[in-house]
Each structure stands twice: as C-alpha cells, then as structure tokens.
Amino acid sequence: IGIHLLAAWLAYWLCRDRGLGRGASIFGGLAFSLSGWLGTATWPQMLNGAIWAPAVFLFLLRAVEGRRPLPSSLLSGFFLGLAWLSGHHQAPIFLTLASLLVWGWSIVRRGKMTLGLVLIFFTGLVLTSGLQTVPAIEYGRLAVRWAGMPQPTGWSEKVPYIVHQGMSLTPQGVLGLAIRGAAEKVGLFVGITILSLAAFGVMGGWREPWVRCLVAVGAFGFLIALGTYTPVHGLLYAVLPIVEKARTPAVAIFIFHFGLAILAACGIEHLLERQSTQFVRWSGLTLVGISAAVFFAGLLAHALQKDAAAQSVWITVFAALAGGCLWLAFDRQAISRGWLITGLVTMMLTELTVGGLIPILPSRHAPGRARLIDALAGAPDLVAFLRGQPRPFRVNVNDQDVPFNF
C-alpha cells in the first residue's frame, strides 16, 4: 500500500509542477498508481524501480526547459538512482533509456550546452545508486543466471534474444489496454476512461513541448515493450550494454502507462478550461463514441470467449456512455467541476476494479487466495529435510509438483 501511495503522490507532484489543477492531478496520481503494469505487478522490488518515473521526469523536464538546470539535473539523476536502489534492474534500465531519449532530444535542440547537464545527471545517478549497483556488478561477475534457457548465462554472456522474444508484448496483446485478459505477458489494462482523457490531453495540449515530450517517451516505452516485433528493441539490444539483461521487454510498458496517466490529467485540465465550447462537446463525445464502437465491435468476438474479458467489454461500453454523459452535462453547466472530476475518478476505479486491478480490494479470505500458503504449511517433511542439509546448498524444484516457494 505504501508503494502505491508513494507512486500516486509522485505523479500528483509532477502534474502540479506542470500547472495542472488539484482535481486533475489527483486523477493522474491515481491513474499512474492503480492502472496498467503498476496496478497489477506483485513484485515489490520491480514496483520500487518503476514508481520513481514521475520524479525523474519532473526534474528532467525542468532541466531541459532551463528552470534551475543544474540542481534539476542533479535531482533527476538522484531519483533515477533511487530507482536503481530497488533491488531489480529491469524497470530502472527502461527508465534510464527513456531519460536518455529526452537528453538526446535536448542535445539536438541546444547542442553542447546540454552536455554538462547530462554529466551532472549521471553524477547524481552514480552516487545515489552505487550502494546497489557497485556490489551488484561485483556479484554479477561471480554469479550465473538462469534466464529462460536450459543452461545458465554468465556476466559476459548476453541473454539470448529468443528469451526476449518470448517475453515481448504481442501485437494482439495491445488490445489489453481496453480489454482485460487480451495481453498475456504483462498487465496492460487501463480502461477507456484513461485512454479517452489521454487522447484529449494530447489534442488539447499538443502545442506544449512537455506534452509532446511525454508522447514521445510513452511511444518509446511502447515500442520497447513490443520487443522483437519492432526493430527498436533489437537495435538497443545489439548496441547498448546491460539492455540485454532486461529479459522481459514487455515490462517497458510502464513507461507508456506513466505517459498515459499524466496526459489523462492534462486532458481533464483542458476539458475544465474549455467549458461551453463546441470543441469540448463534439471532440469528447466523438472520441468516446468512436473508442467504444471500435473496441466493442472489433474485440467482442475475442472477448466473449472468456467470461472476465466479456465482462470487461461491457464495462468499457458502460464507461464510454457514462463519460459521454458527464462531458455533456458539464458542457451544459448541469454539474460542477468537482462533480465532473469525481465522476471521472469513479469511472476509472470502476473499470480497474472490474478489470481485476486495485489488488487492495479483494479479500484475503477469498477461496484460493491462500492456496500456496496452505500447501507450504502442509509440507513439514520437506521443511525438515531442507533444514537438515549442510549450507550453502542449491535445490532444483519442479514447480508443477511444488508450486510454493521456500
């Protein structure tokens, strides 16, 4: 719970720094914390590497905009260093690549002036992350890793690309953004509310450089997540060191989800600013209507094969219709700004709850939730055997027979 609260607060902080109102910022914080990959991943060490994305980009955007560039560069590197302290390398690798994309864009625009800021950025990164990365490098040179192949790989050996291929987001899995269960490798679901508001944020804020920057960053994360289905990941795998150690390209989708959440907050802000205009009325209703029609007509045949996915389709249609009603009511001044934001938050949370996210809500007493703990408690003979072995030792386990983890 603490991890998700911190993620929401950091995203809220970024939204406020971008000039968005409190209501829109609260929505952005909740969207980042509870939807997509961040809302479904259950590994604390991976979550802890991803939640710092808003803080990294808060100060990175300040630096490239020239707002106190020296301390901003240092603080951006500091927060990226905190991501590396998480204990898992995957999310920090992808977050570092996204940061390098923005720095590269700044170097192209401003030339050599940016190089000094990049050096300060990496100084903050190295000094903060060293407590984790230096011993990890030392350990990595001595250890071997089972990364999905029958034989382990050493530090100097690349994780075979075929492993990355099996861990990539598939093109058909992209449907999982709106239909629960369509994506197999990674939690992708965000719902029509976030998608529609993010699209509206792009439409209304395209003139803002930071909006275009977040669009580029999100698209970059999306292309990496597709892994072997695009040349982007293969090029990074071949050219940059350490990238090949992140064997699950699909995890990079959290960069895309991060961009969606902030852009959705931006969409709410533009909706509030442009009250009583034809643009809000027709753009909002058309966007939601088209989204609902496309997802409903194009994906219903696939989704109805699974009860959970079919349920997700219907809640998507409901959310689209509710969104259209909210937009129309606000345009006609039938509801206030506060009620509009409350309605949008409720729609988002409803979609995420039906979509199987928000893991805080299900009861721990629900049938099947404690099956692994019960199985572990029922194996005292295995516990006694393992405790009797001289240490250190390694055990190979068939997880089909022993699904729990000692």
pLDDT at 352: 81
The dihedral sign for the CA sequence 292, 294, 298, 299: negative
Burial class (CB in 10 A: 0-12, 13-18, 19+), 344: buried
pLDDT band of residue 279 (cuts 50, 70, 90) is low
pLDDT band of residue 276 (cuts 50, 70, 90) is very low
The answer to whether residues 254 and 53 touch, using CB atoms and an 8 Å cutoff, is yes
pLDDT band of residue 312 (cuts 50, 70, 90) is low
pLDDT at 313: 65
More confident site: 359 or 195: 195
Give dist(CA 201, CA 72) in Å, integer.
Answer: 25
Answer whether residue 362 shows pLDDT above 80.
no
pLDDT band of residue 4 (cuts 50, 70, 90) is very high
| Bridge partners, 145 (sequence order) | 153
Answer whether residue 308 shows pLDDT above 70.
no
Q: Is the pTM of this model over 0.85?
A: no
Per-chain mean pLDDT for the chain: 84
> pLDDT tens-digit profile of 67-77?
999 999 999 99
Answer whether residue 289 shows pLDDT above 70.
no
pLDDT at 99: 95
DSSP 249: G
| Mean pLDDT across 155-160 | 88
142-146, 181-185, 382-386: range with lowest mean pLDDT = 181-185
Q: Count of CB atoms within 10 A of residue 21's CB?
A: 17
| Mean pLDDT across 89-100 | 94
pLDDT at 346: 86
Answer whether residue 333 shows pLDDT above 90.
no
Answer whether residue 107 shows pLDDT above 70.
yes
pLDDT at 129: 94
Answer whether residue 357 shows pLDDT above 60.
no
Answer whether residue 194 shows pLDDT above 70.
yes
| Mean pLDDT across 51-76 | 95
pLDDT at 347: 83
More confident site: 184 or 392: 392
pLDDT band of residue 291 (cuts 50, 70, 90) is low
Q: Which residues contact 281 (CB under 8 A, 6 or more apart)?
A: 327, 328, 331
More confident site: 398 or 358: 398
| Mean pLDDT across 208-235 | 92
| Bridge partners, 153 (sequence order) | 145
Closest C-alpha to 221, from 265, 180, 276, 263: 263
| Mean pLDDT across 3-18 | 96
Answer whether residue 27 shows pLDDT above 50.
yes
More confident site: 324 or 229: 229
Answer whether residue 144 shows pLDDT above 50.
yes
pLDDT at 98: 95
pLDDT at 340: 84
Answer whether residue 304 shows pLDDT above 50.
no
Q: Helix, strand, coil: what percent of the chain each, to 5?
A: 70, 0, 30
Q: Which residues contact 5 (CB under 8 A, 6 or more apart)?
A: 33
Q: Which of 106-115, 220-229, 275-284, 350-359 has the highest mean pLDDT?
A: 220-229
Q: Which of 269-273, 307-311, 381-385 has the highest mean pLDDT?
A: 381-385
Give dist(CA 46, CA 40) in Å, integer.
Answer: 11
Answer whether residue 348 shows pLDDT above 60.
yes
Answer whether residue 91 shows pLDDT above 90.
yes
